[in-house]
Structure formats: structure tokens, C-alpha cells
Structure 1
Amino acid sequence: MVVNPTAGKGRAAHAGTGVLAGLRRAGHDVVDLSGPDAAVALARARAAVDGTGGTHGPAAPVDALVVVGGDGMVHLGAQAVAGTDVPLGIVPVGTGNDFAATLGLPVRDPAAAGAALCRALDAGPAGRRPVDAALATGPGLDGGPRWVAGAVSAGLDAAVNARANQLRHPRGSARYTVAAALELARYRPWSYRLTFDGVADHDADHDAGAGTALRLRPGPAGTATWTGRAALVTAANGPQIGGGIRVAPAASLDDGLLDVLVATDLSKAGAVAVFPRMFTGGHVRRRKVHLVRARAVTVEPGPDAWAAGERPLPVAHADGERLGPLPLRVEVRAHALRVLVEPC
């Protein structure tokens, strides 16, 4: 088990103690892998998953990895278990908890989440749900390739995420509201080039007459490209980010596709109008907001990105964590992640 002691305004530390005790009372052998920082905790988690735990972990591979915290801890856990048979258990007590909410887990109720976790473990294979994960790669990514549970943001939402991470006040979800106001005040659309692989459909969620579809240009080997200015570029594995922002309302965790949101060339007034609608999913019906379902997308700076007077492109974020600068590729890997969810 790995606990983020700062998640949920410090609630995770207390929650972790309770969950650890509850798992042990239920007869499970639990090793606390929490470390002084995320890098140490991840190293310990990876060692526990592959059975080289050393002084801080078991000498044999663990049966499951449990994380206590928010989406950042889910992101950490995914780095250790994605692509393996070891399932990920989640006790969601962070600020956002978007991935856990999508799974239907008890959010901000550690006692209920711990009890559900025990029931999932007791259910054996029936308590392990396979879901998709995305793999982000690129020359500038921090720490190399990264697994993503929820979404990769590379536009205005990434800029808001970065600003929120810099703010000390206010605490909790209100920090994102303040960060959004600050970023919208200086917003201008950025120049992008997007290359899609395995396009299944696009603009499927638009109402009739909402606007023209995103104009994709066919490329080699079944690819398709789009070049232009955009406010939002988000490759979503799940439907929500940022503590309830319904960025891709129809996205599914197990369809083998990414829902790529592209909000094209919005004015500042347009961006201000679209952003609050993202909490309900109503933004997908706006004329300049498009959804492309594809197996993978490569996000690069567009031809005008380096022109004089251009603002730097936002640094990409995933699951609320910094990834690194563009370019990057995001590719879905079907059923790469197993999560502990009690059977219905």
C-alpha cells in the first residue's frame, strides 16, 4: 500500500492508517510502501510488483497494489502495475478523484472504500476489472514513457492545471477555479498539428446542425491529420478530469479508444463561455468543439507555434501530473490496467 499524506488536505494520512488496519483485520498481509516523496514511493511500488522489494517490501511479487490519495496516486500506481497482472486498489481521498468516480468507487469515504476494497479482494478474479490505459511517449517527457489512467491535457486545461499546482491558496477544488480565471485572462489559441491513428469516428456527439466536423486530412498508413489553432486538446481515456469536468462525456474506460477533444480557434469570449459548460458536458454541442475517437494521437506544435509574439504551448499534464513539453504521442492500450472493484 502507498499513501500520499498530503492528499485531501491531509485526510489521506489518517485514511491510510484506517485502511491498513482494516485490511489486516480482514486477514491480509499488508506492507506500507509509502516514502518521503513520490519517486521513492514509486520505486518501492515497482520493486514490490516485480518481487524485488528489498528492505522496504516483500521478497515475492505482491497480489495487489493499493493507493490512498487522489488522481495523482492513481497515476503513480499505474506506473507500477500497468501492463502486469497485479491489480490496482484505490482509496480515493484526494481533491479530484475522477478515475475512482468513473469506476463507481466510494469517493472521500475511506471507511466505505476500504470495505469495498476488502470485498473486491475476497471476490478473487470477479473483483478485478480490466480497463484501458494510455501510454504517453515523447522526447521531452519527464522520466520517459508514462502510463495514463484518465486523460492527457495539452491545451488550456493543461495551462490551468500547471497554474493550480503553483498556487498555495485557496485549498482544494477552488484553487482550479482561481487558476482558470487567471489563465483565461491571458488566453489566446495555440498552434497545433495533430496526427490520429485508427480513427473510429469523429464529432459523433454533436447535435445536428451544431457545426461542421473537424476537417481531417488523410495521411499514410491509415493516419489522418489536422493543423490549426485550438484552445483545448485533450486525449481522454475516461470521461472526466479536474474534479468533475466532463471533458469527454461519452468516453469509456474499456472501448480501446481515446476520445480526443479539440476546441478550435476560440476567441477569449468563446473560451470563457465554453469552460463552465465542461462541468456538465454541454461544451461538446458547441460549434467549435469536436471529438475524435481514435486509437492514438500525436500532438505537436503547429506551423505558427514559434512565430513572433506567440505564447509558449502549455506543458502537457496527465491525471493532474506534469508530463513535459510537446511533442508527444498518446496511444491507448486495451485492458492494460486491472482495478479492484467489488462485483455487482
Structure 2
Amino acid sequence: MNPTAGKGRAAYAGEGVLAGLRRAGHDAVDLSGPDADAALAWARAAVDGTGGPADPVDALVVVGGDGMVHLGAQAVAGTDVPLGIVPVGTGNDFAATLGLPVRDPAAAGAALCRALDAGAAGIRRVDAALVTGPGLAAGTSAGTSVGAAASTAAGPRWVAGAVSAGLDAAVNARANRLRHPRGSARYTVAAAIELVRYRPWSYRLTFDGVAPATSDAGAGLRLRPGPAGTATWTGRAALVTAANGPQIGGGIRVAPSASLDDGLLDVLVATDLSKAGALAVFPSMFTGGHVRRRKVHVVRARAVTIEPGPEAWVAGERPLPVAHADGERLGGLPLRVEARARALQVLVEAR
């Protein structure tokens, strides 16, 4: 559990979840550590069967927000151990996409027990994104009040929701630094600050496994064919987001058509918006209406490499935002984001 998530609700909720699991006859062990590094190390050891307070486990449960989902994914993605989620954080976007009870730990705990009791019927296999690149951070700052600060060793990172590398990443970083206001309003305040400073950045995007467009959403983004079936785009953009799921930031519908089980990323690219254009687009992102705007495009692909564009090094250019995922800091560009089909098992009540 992340004791800082949901304004401190997660610690209290976590104790209730532990008690409920034990009353239901499960052998529940608290793997929370003194910091995120220790918690992740214990979780990985328990999942891998290499020691720790619990060895091995049949499921890993996280109590918190999207940052705790991110931490849990580092331990269980690519394994046969399912992830249970009790969403009591600020955003809870991944849990909301799965249809889990949000900010209701009693209901979420009861649903978790029913999913465990259902066996294979209570497990849903969904996609996850695997991120690689030389700029990946060794971890995030432990103990922050926004996100779980899911620290990992520098290397591949699993992502449940979306990788943000544009204005949304800058807003995420700003929100993580703000201390007031509390809750989801912090993201709105951070967005207002970053929109005042905004200018579009220069990018180069290389797509692998581009799927046919199902609408006109990505038709205006002129892709140049490359070797081995790749396609590239170079230009200025306000938003570059590689989404596995449809929403980020506590309900922002960044990629409203994204699916958790299609083996593809929905890569949103909002090209060279003016400051006024960016100000106009932001409110419509809460409903997903931004994808109907002329300069907003969605490319569905198996993978995308996000790099600084040729103008990123010109004197006077603002540095590109540090990429974020699931509310957590990933690191600087270049990064490659690849959809891994059915790489993550989640506990979801059978319906």
C-alpha cells in the first residue's frame, strides 16, 4: 500500500483490505516497505519465489492510485501472477478503465475477494506497454504525495496506462511538484501554469506495425514509409502520448478509443498548436472531443519510438518534457514504447 495515496486514505484502506482478505480465508501478507524501493523489491521476490516475507504468492494486491498500479506492474507483468487493485488514489485511471469500484475500498475489497474466489474466471488478461531507452530514470522521488513513486532500476519499464511525452508530461511533472491544491484539482492548476509557458516541441516519431485507420483521426498525419515496415513523422507537436488505455490525469480522455486488449497503442499527436489552440483543446480532452479537431491525430501501431526532432537542438528551444507514465517519471527521450499483448493479468470480478 502507498501511505500517501488519496490524501493518506490508502494506509487506512490497506489495513481494511488485509483484514477482509484474512476473514475470507486468504493468507494475506503486507509487503509494504519503508519506501517504494523496498516494497518493489519484496513484491518482486514474492512473485519470483526468490524469498522475502511471502514466497511465493498467488496474487499481488496494490492499494493506492495509478502509481501503485505502475509499481505492481513492474513485479507481475510478463508473469502468471495476477494484479489486484484497490483504487484509492487521486487518479485511478487504470482501475476506472477496468470498471473497478473507485475510491470505495470496502466495495473494491469485496470485489477483489469475489475475483479470487472465481479462480480463472476472475482473471482478465490485458495488454501492457514495455518502455525502453537510454534516458530511462533509475526511479522516481520516493515519498511524493502525487503517485506512488514506483522506483525501479534503470532499464525496461512496464506501463499500464499511457506514456506522455508532450504537454501532458510537462503538466504531470508540474503537478508532482505542487503542494496545493490537494487532489485532482492540482492537475488543472498545473495545466494552467504550463499552458502559459507552452510552445510546440520538435519530435521525430517512428512507428512499427501501423494498423489501418478506423476513422479520419490519423489521416492528416503524413507518415513517410521506412525500412522493415516502419513509418516516420517529423514535426512540431503539443501532445505526443502513446496510450494503452483511454484516460490519464484523473479522467482526461486522452485516447478515447484505446483498448486494453487489442495489442496496439493509440498514439495521439496534436501537431503545432498555437497557444490559443492548446488552450482550446485542453478542456475538450475531458470528454474525448479533442480527437475531432483538425490538428489532433491518432495513429494505431504496435510500437512507437519517440525522439527529439531536428529542431530540438536549435538555440532558444525549450527542452522537451521528461516523459511520464501512470503518473510517474520515466526519463528523457528517446524512448521506445511497445504494446505487449496480454502481458498483464488483473483480478476483475467475473460478470
Pick the TM interval, shorter chain: over 0.9
| CA gap 1:210/1:125 in 2 versus in 1, 3 angstroms | closer
User: How big is the shift at 1:51?
Assistant: 1.1
Which secondary structure does the structure 2 equivalent of 1:61 belong to? coil
| CA gap 1:105/1:197 in 2 versus in 1, 3 angstroms | same
Two-structure CA RMSD over aligned residues (Å) = 1.3
Q: CA-to-partner distance for each residue in 1:199-251, whole Å, 9 max, x for gaps? A: 00xxx46569996xx10000000000000000000000000000000000000
User: How big is the shift at 1:60?
Assistant: 3.0
Identify the residue that residue 125 of structure 2 maps to in structure 1. Answer: 130
The list of structure 1 runs, each at least 4 consecutive aligned residues, that deviate by more than 4 angstroms after superposition, is: 204-211
The answer to whether the 8 A contact 1:83-1:336 is kept is yes
The answer to whether the 8 A contact 1:52-1:59 is kept is no
Determine whether 1:180 maps to 2:191: yes
| CA gap 1:271/1:199 in 2 versus in 1, 3 angstroms | same
The answer to whether the 8 A contact 2:45-2:55 is kept is no
Aligned length: 333
**1:213-232 correspondence runs (5 A):** 214-232=221-239
Q: CA-to-partner distance for each residue in 1:34-81, whole Å, 9 max, x for gaps? A: 011111110110001011233xxx463200000000000000000000
| CA gap 1:109/1:209 in 2 versus in 1, 3 angstroms | closer
Q: Could you tell me how far apart the structure 1 residues matched to 2:219 and 2:266 are?
A: 19
Any stretches of 5+ residues in structure 1 without a counterpart? none
Any stretches of 5+ residues in structure 2 without a counterpart? 137-153
The answer to whether the 8 A contact 2:127-2:342 is kept is yes
Q: CA-to-partner distance for each residue in 1:274-304, whole Å, 9 max, x for gaps? A: 0110000000000000000000000000000
Which secondary structure does the structure 1 equivalent of 2:339 belong to? strand
Which secondary structure does the structure 1 equivalent of 2:58 belong to? coil
The answer to whether the 8 A contact 1:206-1:285 is kept is no
Q: Could you tell me how far apart the structure 1 residues matched to 2:82 and 2:215 are?
A: 36
Q: Could you tell me how far apart the structure 2 residues matched to 1:206 and 1:181 are?
A: 31
| CA gap 1:208/1:179 in 2 versus in 1, 3 angstroms | closer
Q: Could you tell me how far apart the structure 2 residues matched to 1:85 and 1:251 are?
A: 24
Q: Could you tell me how far apart the structure 2 residues matched to 1:9 and 1:152 are?
A: 25
Q: CA-to-partner distance for each residue in 1:3-36, whole Å, 9 max, x for gaps? A: 0011000000110010000000000001100011
| CA gap 1:333/1:182 in 2 versus in 1, 3 angstroms | same
| CA gap 1:186/1:320 in 2 versus in 1, 3 angstroms | same
Report sequence identity in percent: 91
Q: Could you tell me how far apart the structure 2 residues matched to 1:28 and 1:183 are?
A: 47
Which secondary structure does the structure 1 equivalent of 2:231 belong to? strand
The answer to whether the 8 A contact 1:210-1:285 is kept is no
Q: Could you tell me how far apart the structure 1 residues matched to 2:31 and 2:218 are?
A: 54
